[in-house]
Structure 1
Amino acid sequence: MTYPDHFRSLMRLGIPLIGGHIAQFAITLTDTVMLGWYSVEALASVVLGGTFFFVIFILGSGFAIAVMPLVAEADAEGDEVQLRRVTRMGLWLSVIFGVLVLPLFIFSQPILLGLQQEREVAELAQVYLRVAGFGLMPSLLVMVFKSYLAALGRTRVVFWVTVAAVPANGVVNYALIFGNWGFPELGVQGAAIASLVVQAVSLCGVVVYSAVAMKHHDLFGRLWRPDWDVFGRVLKLGVPIGVTNLAEVGLFAASSLMMGWLGTVQLAAHGIALNLASLAFMMHLGLSNAATVRAGNALGRKDADHMARGAKVAIAGSMVTAAVAVSVFLLFPEFLIGLFIDPDEPQRDAIMAIGVTLLWVAALFQVVDGLQVMALGILRGIQDTRGPMVIAAISYWVIGVPTGYVLGFVMGYEGVGVWAGLVIGLTAAAILLLWRFWGPDLRRLRAKFAASAEA
């Protein structure tokens, strides 16, 4: 394939996935905007509670993500039995994880207080999490089905299921947060109920599609029967992916906790800026998922040259996306931050001032954030997960978090210092992950494929 062919194939897979990720993110963004208009205290509590939920979700998502390269490889080899076995065990592991971690949501307030968060914010965050926590399992199951469908090139389905959830979430939010149309005014609890409803409906959507449109794979036949060999393979691949994700998301969660130490206004500004940076990240993530599928297909076909050219195209696409995000953040920071705050909010000016500065810092890490997630996507496609897990742990927790703490609190740069730690941690991860693929991994695969061809 030529580079233009690679680009077209990447976009054919990637654009619906980008749209799906943006739509998924729009659900969280809707919660943030509506609660920001409800009260600063509600916004701060859901920033904290949402971070708590996402940290646990992202750890459990490793099993769903592991399904994607394994199904892509099996599809390239024409092995329908294997792709069915992989998907089923991904569902099993997601259910088991969801049950095991549910108590963390129910008793989240003591955990948040132990992390030195303000009592009022922690109490309100627990109100949110005691409802939202029951949505973790359906969220993970939806992610397994999306990985299965994306690996088979059914990315448009992933897009439309997620898009349909956005207005549904907004409508239920509007009714339950503010008490419109005769519904009770529930504030943060209303936002949690809306998210739970949307996750359940989304799960029904992907289950029905998989049962009808993909019935030849017979995913649900004998679903209750264990397949311990494949269970172990998905577990072995998924745990490092989950821990890698946890290391990265933990970097941002740690930044949220440190911003919470600075006060409610700083935490609210941080939540707004982080939501905007995360929106830009969704574009990188969609391309990264597409790169995972394409690398998995190349692995199944034992084609290292195809894999290398595809990786170059994916990285170039991510850098174009980063350039657009940087331009928007630098040119329109006041407008973007202002979208999240009620014009009559007494602390609007303080939140705006902090949020605009943080958004400028966010512009700095767009390039390195895109590079590191693209490298992770490619490495997952070739089923290299343990090395990236170590790299992520070192980059984010040995370099990023301590640097953010020192700059923010020891040197007195506060929120800007905390966010500078994010930039430094992401930069270290990007450099090391790219080196791993283009250096030892690609050499190993070329030698392996050459030996296989000669045999």
Structure 2
Amino acid sequence: MLEKAEATSVAPPASTTAPGRHLALELSETLKLAVPIALTQLGQIAMMTTDIALIGRLGSEAMAAAALAHTVFFVSFTFGMGLVSAVAPLAAQAFGARNPHLIRRSLRVGMWAALLMSLPMMTLSFRGEQILLMLGQAPTAAHLAQQYLLGLTWSILPALWFMTIRGFMSAVNRPEPILWITLAAIPANATLVYLLLYGAFGMPELGLFGVGLATSIVNLGTFLAGLWFATRRRPFRKYHVLGHFWRVDWKLMRLMRQLVVIGAPISLSFLLEYGLFGAAGLLMGVISTTALAAHQIALQVAAILFMVPFGIGMAATVRVGHAIGRGDAGAVRRAGYVATWLGIVLVAVLTIAVIVSRFSIAEIFLGESTDATAELSATLLLVGSTFFIADAIQTVAAGSLRGMNDTRVPLLFAILSYWLIGFACACWLGFWTPSGAVGVWIGLSIGTAVYAVLLLLRFRGLTSKLSFR
């Protein structure tokens, strides 16, 4: 019965669709997935921005402590995030193959992996103060950061479980509930952070610990809401995602191994990418305080723009996974290339808007200022135009390759592109040429462009040899 129901929910094979409609259909299906995913990511950024804005009222010391806490937190969380990202391609391939039992197992193994990973991740965050002191940070800032982490660390497991459910829902072509939950979480998070940070309306004044605790409570709420949708609402409830949840069998262990093989390289690639931008910030700090401030502004704009190709990349993972599951080589190529061009076009439009309004963007962060920081911020946004487009291409191409379970070779590409080429160019241009801060961003753009080209060539090579017989 379940197999029959699933068969009706999978898109028809390419052979039953008129050739002239292939691209339009693929574009439509990609947009249906990408738009809610991208909006969900923007909602996550909105929550983080709200937290930062409220913490900022406590002063620069609190802001510095929050930045340090986020650094410790995201180093460990990134690894878990990459691991559970493998749920989407596994479930998408099962959906394309019309195998609902494997869809359920993919979600279940992702939740087990998140549970096992969260324990060492929490240990790292609970020892954040010691880690920061070892790295030479000021004792006061390290202590305040630890207070924040004591509340924030409890969000790790529910956040990873929520991401697992998001991968499952995207794989079955229904990412909208995750968007609805995130939109509801934005005002809930802002209210709870305000109450616990300042002790308003009779609530205890918990400071930075209260901000972290509020985030953990909201993450638990979003997970429970996602679980309710997954178990109670159509079309998710037909998969019985909690069925035999505690049963550990050979098939589950084999799928766990597959998830680790796919997900671990994704985690390391994320760490390499985020590490590069963290290292670029250190380079900017050596150049000057002005360079560091301008870099942070340009990087924040890049993070916002990144959400668009990120959503398209996740949609590409699902669409390519569906085609792999169906055994349709032509659809695999079509899904990857349509998503790539969609990402290029949309980010190109956004990039033009950033270039035109770059001075106004600097004013948003700095006020009506004409000082060196504002000028340099505008210049970095102009230089970053090539970076924005290259970053969009690599994000979507990497998503397409994940849909094919290809993650180890892209990891090698990331090492080569980001660090051996990008970081080396950033150091050389930043310190051994007159370019300074602009040279660092040119180095980032070069490394990202090399990565994008390598990923595109990899996708082209794999799909040209792809055959299902």
Q: Is the shorter-chain TM-score for this pair beyond 0.5, marking a shared fold?
A: yes
- Alignment of 1:75 with 2:95, yes or no, is yes
Q: Deviations over 1:74-120 (max 9, x none)?
A: 11111111111111111111111110121221222343344455555
Gaps of 5+ in 2: 1-20
> Which residue number corresponds to residue 197 of structure 1?
217
**CA 1:48/1:215 → structure 2, altered by over 3 Å: closer, same or farther?**
same
Partners in 2 of 1:435 and 1:387 — Cα distance? 12
Assess if the C-alpha contact under 8 Å between 2:397 and 2:456 holds in 1: yes
Q: Residue 128 of structure 2: which of 108, 119, 126 is its match?
A: 108
**CA 1:30/1:366 → structure 2, altered by over 3 Å: closer, same or farther?**
same
CA shift, 1:162, in A, is: 1.4
Q: Which shifted more, 332-341 or 244-253?
A: 332-341
CA shift, 1:133, in A, is: 2.1
Partners in 2 of 1:270 and 1:37 — Cα distance? 23
> Which residue number corresponds to residue 389 of structure 2?
367
Q: Residue 425 of structure 1: which of 447, 452, 456 is its match?
A: 447
Matches within 5 A, 1:304-319: 304-319=329-344
**CA 1:420/1:113 → structure 2, altered by over 3 Å: closer, same or farther?**
farther
Partners in 2 of 1:112 and 1:418 — Cα distance? 26
**CA 1:43/1:207 → structure 2, altered by over 3 Å: closer, same or farther?**
same
SS at match of 1:365: helix
Assess if the C-alpha contact under 8 Å between 2:272 and 2:414 holds in 1: yes
Partners in 2 of 1:242 and 1:225 — Cα distance? 27
Q: Deviations over 1:308-335 (max 9, x none)?
A: 2222221111112212321232222343
> Which residue number corresponds to residue 416 of structure 1?
438
- Alignment of 1:325 with 2:350, yes or no, is yes
**CA 1:128/1:415 → structure 2, altered by over 3 Å: closer, same or farther?**
farther
CA shift, 1:392, in A, is: 1.1
- Alignment of 1:436 with 2:458, yes or no, is yes
Give the letter for the 1:381 counterpart: G
Assess if the C-alpha contact under 8 Å between 1:48 and 1:256 holds in 2: no
- Alignment of 1:384 with 2:409, yes or no, is no
Partners in 1 of 2:31 and 2:399 — Cα distance? 15
What is the TM-score of this pair, normalised by structure 2?
A: 0.86
Give the letter for the 1:64 counterpart: V
Assess if the C-alpha contact under 8 Å between 1:36 and 1:342 holds in 2: no
Q: Deviations over 1:292-321 (max 9, x none)?
A: 110001111111212222222211111122
- Alignment of 1:128 with 2:148, yes or no, is yes
Assess if the C-alpha contact under 8 Å between 2:107 and 2:168 holds in 1: yes
Give the letter for the 1:370 counterpart: A
CA shift, 1:13, in A, is: 1.3
Give the letter for the 2:426 counterpart: G
Matches within 5 A, 1:276-355: 276-340=301-365, 352-355=374-377
Identity between Structure 1 and Structure 2 (%): 34
Q: Which shifted more, 106-115 or 206-215?
A: 106-115
Partners in 2 of 1:420 and 1:117 — Cα distance? 29
> Which residue number corresponds to residue 98 of structure 1?
118
Matches within 5 A, 1:244-263: 244-259=269-284
Give the letter for the 1:217 counterpart: Y
CA shift, 1:130, in A, is: 3.0
Q: Residue 80 of structure 2: which of 24, 37, 60 is its match?
A: 60
CA shift, 1:63, in A, is: 2.4
**CA 1:354/1:69 → structure 2, altered by over 3 Å: closer, same or farther?**
same
**CA 1:332/1:171 → structure 2, altered by over 3 Å: closer, same or farther?**
farther
SS at match of 2:406: coil
Taking only aligned residues, the RMSD between alpha carbons, in angstroms, comes to 2.6
Q: Which shifted more, 265-274 or 100-109?
A: 265-274
> Which residue number corresponds to residue 242 of structure 2?
220
Give the letter for the 1:139 counterpart: A
SS at match of 1:14: helix
**CA 1:253/1:235 → structure 2, altered by over 3 Å: closer, same or farther?**
same
Assess if the C-alpha contact under 8 Å between 2:343 and 2:396 holds in 1: yes
Assess if the C-alpha contact under 8 Å between 2:26 and 2:338 holds in 1: yes
Give the letter for the 2:443 counterpart: G
> Which residue number corresponds to residue 238 of structure 1?
263
Partners in 1 of 2:149 and 2:291 — Cα distance? 22
Q: Which shifted more, 264-273 or 244-253?
A: 264-273
What is the TM-score of this pair, normalised by structure 1?
A: 0.89
SS at match of 2:86: helix
**CA 1:111/1:428 → structure 2, altered by over 3 Å: closer, same or farther?**
farther
CA shift, 1:204, in A, is: 0.9
Partners in 1 of 2:72 and 2:361 — Cα distance? 25
CA shift, 1:269, in A, is: 4.6
Assess if the C-alpha contact under 8 Å between 1:37 and 1:341 holds in 2: no
Q: Deviations over 1:325-349 (max 9, x none)?
A: 2123222234334444588xxx995
- Alignment of 1:163 with 2:183, yes or no, is yes
Identify which of structures 1 and 2 has the higher relative contact order when contacts are C-alpha pairs closer than 8 Å and 6+ apart.
1
> Which residue number corresponds to residue 10 of structure 1?
30
**CA 1:332/1:210 → structure 2, altered by over 3 Å: closer, same or farther?**
same
**CA 1:98/1:269 → structure 2, altered by over 3 Å: closer, same or farther?**
farther
**CA 1:416/1:115 → structure 2, altered by over 3 Å: closer, same or farther?**
farther
Assess if the C-alpha contact under 8 Å between 1:33 and 1:340 holds in 2: no
Partners in 2 of 1:284 and 1:118 — Cα distance? 38
> Which residue number corresponds to residue 394 of structure 1?
416
Assess if the C-alpha contact under 8 Å between 1:42 and 1:187 holds in 2: no
Partners in 2 of 1:124 and 1:28 — Cα distance? 18
Assess if the C-alpha contact under 8 Å between 2:195 and 2:203 holds in 1: yes
SS at match of 2:149: helix
Partners in 1 of 2:25 and 2:166 — Cα distance? 25
**CA 1:133/1:339 → structure 2, altered by over 3 Å: closer, same or farther?**
farther
State the number of aligned residues. 444
CA shift, 1:405, in A, is: 3.1
Q: Which shifted more, 229-238 or 125-134?
A: 125-134
Gaps of 5+ in 1: none
